Structure 1
Amino acid sequence: MTGVSAVVTDLDGTVVRRDGTVSEATLRAAALLFELGIPLVAATARTPAGLRALEPLRPLLSLSVCCGGAIGVGPDGETTAWREDLPPAAIEALAAVALARWPQIGVATYDGGRWRMTERYLATRHTRHFGPTEVCDLDAVLATPACAMALVHPRLEAVDLMAGLAGAAGVSLTRASAQAVEVTAAGVDKASGVRRALLELGAAPERAIAFGDMPIDVAMFGVVGRSVAMADAPPEVLAAATDRTSSVEQDGFAAFLSRTGLIGPFL
């Protein structure tokens, strides 16, 4: 595999294992890309704080797409390359519709530095949020300018919530996990973030390759020349990818890059 302009990868479930660690094989693959001068771009639902928690992978990243495309982070892990805020009216309207339909729904917003969440959200979603968090009433959650929003329900899955909120104005809805719906501004998703990152790096999208394992990754598959789904990805992700590889627990990222000759055999 020659002529690759950049490698783009989701983090959790793709190069970050269930225990939150990155394997030595993955780190070695990332280091070899660095040595070859091939940019490695992370595209993740994680916030910048969640990205900074991934040492020693983070220093090997040329640019990072965080919050599902809403924030770009420079190679130092600190500098904000871009930020796309949700329109305040869209946040309020979406929350009003969601709460009218499902009074038990949990709501959280992220302002670029802190998650603010309702008690219902905290009680329902058990995924770790990196960086500062604050539990407060709904008015406070919705009052702060935000670049990302999350919705969860104690019994319904993300697909059910998205179906009930289809057509909401001013926002993009993405299934970040089986349980959680991630909300960004209209037109902002991993695809828009990856396009922007590749443009900043001067990397041709048609010669880039992307790895992912969840429905949130399907959008970015459409903006690169080659896409790779992890073996345990849902059927719609496998169907959207041009290739597949073994799971994160089996070092699928490193194995694919080695097997196709981009970084040479080393496993």
Structure 2
Amino acid sequence: MRLVASDIDGTILGRDGRITPRTVRALHACEEAGVELVFVTGRPARWLTPLSEQLGHAGTVICSNGALVYSLETMSVVSSEAIRRDTMLEVREIVRGLFPETVFAVETPVEFVMETAFAEPRHQRLLEEVRHGDLAELVQGDEVVKFMAKIEGITAEDYLRVVAPHVSHLVSVTHSAIDMTMLEMAPIGVNKAVTLAEYAHALGIAPADVVAFGDMPNDVEMLAWAGEGYAMQSGHPDALAATELHAPGIEDDGVAQVLERKLAGIGRTAVGSGPARRARGS
């Protein structure tokens, strides 16, 4: 184990917005043992405060399902891949032709913009906080790192099943939201696994030495790519089906349990055939 790559929401971060002390200790122990740590999330860069505030993480984060790499040390974008503006508009027309009631929003490296109807009644404050209106007017450049399509009255799985065959030649499409039906689209060929593979290669780390954790469909490629990809037992069926390795659920500190076991193995290897008591204390 040379690199730990972990999703955030539903994997280490609970719905209460907290990372448990046990998980914090396990992640810190990895770094202390010389294991690289990178977070791989669907979140935009502006939503990384749980990592910095609760974990004290100041390293690299792969955001927007692989479309953007961000440094918490310098608080700046390292690299990004964007959907072309004309492609975004073409996809919008295709999806709206299939589901006219669909509403859309966009993440760029610097902001979130949306169609006015994207703000649900519970999110009306967004109308005061972000630019909203016609995306054709709001997005002027080739800067979209995440394109979102939202609908009601259908499951995310059914929505994806219908939409994906019509847009997969233009964008990568997945979903990860728990409390809404929303598709998340990235530039064609971009997902968490692709960007994580590039990151690991730059460090000279092979897939076999990567341990990854995730819980939703947007983690599937990453879990399959990593030498050890653990789906959270509390996760989506698609994530669980992507790998034979399952970690206990987030409510049971599943990531921490796996890492504690693996770090203990590193300790035993380090002390060779020394006494078991010494290995446990290493």
* TM-score normalised by the chain length of structure 2: 0.84
Residue 54 of structure 1: aligned partner: 51
CA radius of gyration, larger in: 2
Contact kept? 2:223, 2:231, Cα under 8 Å: no
Contact kept? 2:51, 2:57, Cα under 8 Å: no
Residue 99 of structure 2: aligned partner: 102
Number of equivalent positions = 260
Report the secondary structure of 1:211's partner residue. strand
Q: Which runs of 5+ in 2 are unaligned?
A: 268-279
Report the secondary structure of 1:55's partner residue. helix
CA distance in 2, matches of 1:124, 1:100: 25
Matches within 5 A, 1:81-160: 81-123=78-120, 133-144=130-141, 145-160=143-158
Letter of the 2:170 counterpart = G
Letter of the 1:149 counterpart = F
Letter of the 2:131 counterpart = E
CA distance in 2, matches of 1:136, 1:11: 30
CA distance in 1, matches of 2:166, 2:247: 35
Among 9, 14, 23, the alignment partner of 1:12 is 9
RMSD: 2.4
CA distance in 2, matches of 1:246, 1:141: 43
Among 187, 190, 200, the alignment partner of 1:188 is 190
Percent of aligned positions with the same letter in both sequences?
A: 27
Contact kept? 1:85, 1:185, Cα under 8 Å: yes
* 1:84–1:161 CA distance, 2 compared to 1 (3 A): same
CA distance in 2, matches of 1:60, 1:201: 18
Residue 177 of structure 2: aligned partner: 177
CA distance in 1, matches of 2:20, 2:74: 20
CA distance in 1, matches of 2:24, 2:38: 14
CA distance in 2, matches of 1:36, 1:196: 23
CA distance in 2, matches of 1:177, 1:10: 13
CA distance in 1, matches of 2:74, 2:20: 20
Residue 254 of structure 2: aligned partner: 252
